[in-house]
């Protein structure tokens, strides 16, 4: 496992049950997953030798994030290691330009886009043709709203272009809400499709997820799931794939982003599904038969806990468990920094309004120490 | 955490979510829980210095088993460590004689019993008065049917008495089935009561558990739960308490055994309840508010996987996941030895017969490599 963040940490919970022994390449001796995986070594995922050492005799190499350089992934594969997802697939989760071009070729519905020239004046001309407003995105390395800018005119565009990054322009989609469609896919081809969920964002960061997406038109749901399956198959994705989607104001779906790993929009499945995304990621990359994504209860709501007013999450944990005993708390073992994802809370149940209010209340208590603005239980 | 067996291993899954960092005293470098708990040291739970070293500055000391000598528990407590459950409680899970006397004083329904003299001839006389058949049990150290003998006459009794162990005699109860009532209890007094389950044994070993116990008379259920709460409170148990019970042929309940830790009869709760017994054990010993034991689905069935015909559980895992994808497999990272508990399987659902057949099929496949004798799906 390359990368010691919270995804690798939560993977370990599933690995314990399956009897899978994870060897971890961690960014530091006490990062999130290194706290819970005995066989970890500290190293740098941009250094091939570190990747080779941790890969060792492992039957498969998988990832907590998408930041391993493609040339290193190819080198590992050439040496007989088995990266899953493989370099040819992962490229489309690493590079938004490559992703847009490939999905367009496949006929997968996407926002209008344009790859921008590296030359500022050429890019300005291209944007003038493309039209404003436009969304500018770095092709690589963006996450949680970082590396994304909405520009309304040339002056604003020039500020972003001046950063000298490789960019694509996309239309500013008039969307009703954001959805996420996840599938797990094995090398042998088996695919398990998760319920389509609604992802609610604030400042570019996923704030809460409702599973399944309420009041979703069945034909849109089927389209979203078909898109996720098609992308997984055409791009030969192994492991979990998350396809983040816009549901447009005029009732279409458009692909926003791809992630080839367990994803924040699937955390609900730990407590809310027969088989969590973490278990199915492990099952998929090990080419084990997949488990059903069937929800255990009609509704699951996951709310992220970001760094907020509460500094001592372990002390505040007692308050949350007291006030909201049914909340499933997931702490990532991270220091609190403003806006940083430090944990999440999931609540499952039969009544969406209750479940939503309870989950929000628990997350707000954990993050900010009060339930101001939350609905009473 | 003292002891590195499968209970400590499964505790780690709950600890990861809660942000609890376990420091483990393990029997060896690669025992079940040492495989998944980074901060482990190898030592002997009968050596006080080893216990002291692992206890260190931990806020609380808890246990994978009940084999720490009572005098060491008292020494730890005297030195300011915080064993939970404490030595005065744990004694009644360690010594069946002490347990029987104490429960009798409390008026808790138990089988008829007699503490036998250490002198063989005196014990023979006592047994003659007590009557045959009788169940002889070692007061300490018995488990999974070991240290238990049914004797029908003096000759058989003399064979057991010749072993020179401290024994109690109990009536051979004419029971309809075995039940288990679990509670979690915090030092501050809060108690969470789990559904009463049915435990089906073979050769003294728990084979399968059905949660909740089917067709249980509501008044017996309430009695069983009241007994568990009363025992937890009177004995000042902290953490999980399992009260194993006989449901007698004439419709009473009698206490068979006590366990003061997560228990095999509660493994179903990992996949079948809002709060697993492992999470509530941690919450209880850390004096955190307890979580609801509410089942997620109407029925959960857990079937133990013992050492059988299958030697390579990891290879066989693929077969089971293929044939029974909805089975939740829990492997303990142990070498297969005949009859040894090496894992378990849980299935949840709405129809008991389906759930039972599916769980049995998965466990049989994992244990013996075929589903002979199991009901077709």
DSSP state at residue B144: T
Ordered per-residue pLDDT tens for chain A, 377 residues: 999 999 999 999 999 999 999 999 999 999 999 999 999 999 999 999 999 999 999 999 999 999 999 999 999 999 999 999 999 999 999 999 999 999 999 999 999 999 999 999 999 999 999 999 999 999 987 777 789 999 999 999 999 999 999 999 999 999 999 999 999 999 999 999 999 999 999 887 889 999 999 999 999 999 999 999 999 999 999 999 999 999 999 999 999 999 999 999 999 999 999 999 999 999 999 999 999 999 999 999 999 999 999 999 999 999 999 999 999 999 999 999 999 999 999 999 999 999 999 999 999 999 999 755 444 33
Verify that B238 and B311 share a domain, yes or no. Answer: yes
Q: Looking at the complex, report in whole angstroms how far the Cα of residue A257 sits from the nearest Cα belonging to chain B.
A: 28
- Residue in B17, B38, B322 nearest the CB of A38: B38
Which of A326, A315, A311, A310 minimizes the C-alpha distance to A364?
Answer: A310
Contact B289 A38 (CB under 8 A): no
Which of B129, B122, B120 minimizes the C-alpha distance to B161?
Answer: B120
Verify that B23 and B127 share a domain, yes or no. Answer: no
Please give the pLDDT value at position B377.
34
Asked if residue A288 belongs to a domain, the reply is yes
Partners of B13 on chain A (C-beta within 8 Å) are 13, 16-17
Asked if residue A107 belongs to a domain, the reply is no
Asked if residue A142 belongs to a domain, the reply is yes
How does B134-143 read in b/e, with b if 16+ C-beta sit within 10 Å? Answer: bbbbbbeeee
Verify that A267 and A356 share a domain, yes or no. Answer: yes
Verify that A297 and A252 share a domain, yes or no. Answer: yes
Please give the pLDDT value at position B375.
40
Please give the pLDDT value at position A206.
87
Interface test with B, best of A32, A280, A289 (most B CBs within 10 A): A289
Q: Looking at the complex, report in whole angstroms how far the Cα of residue B77 sits from the nearest Cα belonging to chain A.
A: 24
Asked if residue A99 belongs to a domain, the reply is no
Partners of A189 on chain B (C-beta within 8 Å) are none
Asked if residue A61 belongs to a domain, the reply is yes
How far apart CA B313 and CA B239 sit, in angstroms, is 32
Please give the pLDDT value at position A376.
39
Verify that A46 and A193 share a domain, yes or no. Answer: no
Q: Which residues of A touch B (CB under 8 A)?
A: 9-10, 12-13, 15-19, 21, 34-38, 40, 274-275, 283, 288-292, 294, 296-297, 313-314, 317-318, 321-322, 325-326, 328-333, 343, 348
- Residue in B10, B37, B314 nearest the CB of A38: B37
Q: Look up the CATH number of the domain holding residue A355.
A: 3.30.470.20
Verify that A46 and A139 share a domain, yes or no. Answer: no
How far apart CA A367 and CA B119 sit, in angstroms, is 65
pLDDT tens across B253-275, in order? 999 999 999 999 999 999 999 99
Verify that A155 and A204 share a domain, yes or no. Answer: no
Could you give phi then psi for residue A320, rounded to 5 degrees? -65, -45
> Is residue B361 within a helix (H) or strand (E), and if so which, with residue range?
helix B352-368
Average pLDDT, chain B: 95
Q: Look up the CATH number of the domain holding residue A19.
A: 3.40.50.20
Question: What is the domain extent for residue B282?
Answer: 175-368
Please list the helix, strand and coil fractions of chain B in percent, rounded to the nearest 5, in that order.
Answer: 35, 25, 40
Question: Angle B188-B189-B190 (CA atoms, 0-180°, nearest 5)?
Answer: 105
How far apart CA B290 and CA B242 sit, in angstroms, is 16
Contact B17 A288 (CB under 8 A): no
Q: What is the number of domains present in chain B?
A: 3
Verify that A25 and A60 share a domain, yes or no. Answer: yes
The Cα-based distances of B288 to A300, A359, B185, B238 in angstroms read 24, 19, 10, 11
The Cα-based distances of A106 to A185, A252, A313, A357 in angstroms read 19, 17, 46, 40
Q: Pick out the residues of the known binding site of A.
A: 96, 137, 170-173, 178, 256-257
Which of A235, A239, A233 minimizes the C-alpha distance to A189?
Answer: A233
Please give the pLDDT value at position A371.
57
Asked if residue B374 belongs to a domain, the reply is no
Partners of A288 on chain B (C-beta within 8 Å) are 317-318, 321
Q: Looking at the complex, report in whole angstroms how far the Cα of residue B157 sits from the nearest Cα belonging to chain A.
A: 43
Verify that A182 and A291 share a domain, yes or no. Answer: yes
Verify that B122 and B202 share a domain, yes or no. Answer: no
| Helix/strand/coil for A139 | coil
Interface test with A, best of B19, B186, B285 (most A CBs within 10 A): B19
CB pairs under 8 A between A and B: 113
Contact B36 A12 (CB under 8 A): yes
Please give the pLDDT value at position A377.
34
Please give the pLDDT value at position B370.
78
Report how far Cα B334 is from the mean position of its chain's Cα atoms.
18
Please give the pLDDT value at position B371.
57
- Residue in B15, B289, B318 nearest the CB of A325: B289
Residue B235 has a CB neighbour count (10 Å cut-off) of 24
Contact A292 B326 (CB under 8 A): yes
Interface test with B, best of A7, A13, A17, A323 (most B CBs within 10 A): A17
User: Which of B171, B188, B203 lies at the terminal end of a domain, its last residue?
Assistant: B171
Q: Which residues of B touch A (CB under 8 A)?
A: 9-10, 12-13, 15-19, 21, 34-38, 40, 270, 274-275, 283, 288-292, 294, 296-297, 313-314, 317-318, 321-322, 325-326, 328-333, 343, 348
Verify that B187 and B255 share a domain, yes or no. Answer: yes
Q: What order do you get walking across the sheet with A113-115 strand by strand?
A: A113-115, A167-171, A134-138, A148-151
> Looking at chain A, which residue has its C-alpha nearest residue B292?
A326
Asked if residue A374 belongs to a domain, the reply is no
B301 and B359 Cβ atoms separated by less than 8 Å: yes
> Looking at chain A, which residue has its C-alpha nearest residue B334?
A19
* Residues contacting A58, CB < 8 A, separation 6+: A23, A81
Asked if residue A375 belongs to a domain, the reply is no
Give yes or no for a cis peptide into A13 (omega within 30° of 0).
no
User: Which of B156, B171, B186 lies at the terminal end of a domain, its last residue?
Assistant: B171
Contact A19 B343 (CB under 8 A): yes
Give yes or no for a cis peptide into B355 (omega within 30° of 0).
no
| ipTM of the complex model | 0.94
Interface test with B, best of A5, A16, A287, A334 (most B CBs within 10 A): A16
Contact A297 B296 (CB under 8 A): yes
The string of DSSP codes covering A68-124 is S-HHHHHHHHHTT--BSS-HHHHHHHH-HHHHHHHHHHHT-----EEEPPSSHHHHH
Verify that A45 and A128 share a domain, yes or no. Answer: no
Q: Looking at the complex, report in whole angstroms how far the Cα of residue B313 sits from the nearest Cα belonging to chain A.
A: 9
Q: Is B107 left (phi over 0), alpha (psi -120 to 50) or beta?
A: left
Ordered per-residue pLDDT tens for chain B, 377 residues: 999 999 999 999 999 999 999 999 999 999 999 999 999 999 999 999 999 999 999 999 999 999 999 999 999 999 999 999 999 999 999 999 999 999 999 999 999 999 999 999 999 999 999 999 999 999 987 777 789 999 999 999 999 999 999 999 999 999 999 999 999 999 999 999 999 999 999 887 889 999 999 999 999 999 999 999 999 999 999 999 999 999 999 999 999 999 999 999 999 999 999 999 999 999 999 999 999 999 999 999 999 999 999 999 999 999 999 999 999 999 999 999 999 999 999 999 999 999 999 999 999 999 999 755 444 33
């Amino acid at each position: 496992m390359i990368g010691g963040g919270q995804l690798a940490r939560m993977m370990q919970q599933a690995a314990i049950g399956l009897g899978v022994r994870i060897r971890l390449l961690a960014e530091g001796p006490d990062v999130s997953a290194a706290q819970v995986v005995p066989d970890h070594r500290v190293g740098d995922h941009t250094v091939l030798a570190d990747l080779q050492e941790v890969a060792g005799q492992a039957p498969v190499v998988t990832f907590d994030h998408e930041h391993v350089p493609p040339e290193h992934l190819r080198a590992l594969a050439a040496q007989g290691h088995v990266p899953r997802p493989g370099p040819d697939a992962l490229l489309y989760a690493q590079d938004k330009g490559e992703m847009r071009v490939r999905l367009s070729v496949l006929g997968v519905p996407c926002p209008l886009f344009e790859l921008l020239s590296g030359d500022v004046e050429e890019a300005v001309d291209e944007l003038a043709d493309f039209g404003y407003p436009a969304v500018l995105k770095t092709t690589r390395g963006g996450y949680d709203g970082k590396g994304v800018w909405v520009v309304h005119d040339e002056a604003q565009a020039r500020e972003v272009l001046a950063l000298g990054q490789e960019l694509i322009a996309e239309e500013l989609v008039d969307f009703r809400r954001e959805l996420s469609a996840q599938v797990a896919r094995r090398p042998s081809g088996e695919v398990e499709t998760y319920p389509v969920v609604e992802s609610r964002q604030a400042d570019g960061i996923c704030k809460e997820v409702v599973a399944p997406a309420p009041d979703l038109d069945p034909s849109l749901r089927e389209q979203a799931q078909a898109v996720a399956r098609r992308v997984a198959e055409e791009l030969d994705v192994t492991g979990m794939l998350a396809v983040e989607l816009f549901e447009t104001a005029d009732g279409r779906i458009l692909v926003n982003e791809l992630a080839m790993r367990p994803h924040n929009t699937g955390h609900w499945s730990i407590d809310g599904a027969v088989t969590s995304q973490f278990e199915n990621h492990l099952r998929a990359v090990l080419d084990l038969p997949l488990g059903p994504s069937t929800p255990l209860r009609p509704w699951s709501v996951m709310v992220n806990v970001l760094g907020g007013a509460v500094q001592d999450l372990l002390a505040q944990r007692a308050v949350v468990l007291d006030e909201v005993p049914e909340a499933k708390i997931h702490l990532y073992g991270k220091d609190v920094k403003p806006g940083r994802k430090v944990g999440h809370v999931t609540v499952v149940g039969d009544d969406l309004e209750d479940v939503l209010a309870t989950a929000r209340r628990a997350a707000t208590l954990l993050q900010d120490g009060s339930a101001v603005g939350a609905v009473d239980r």
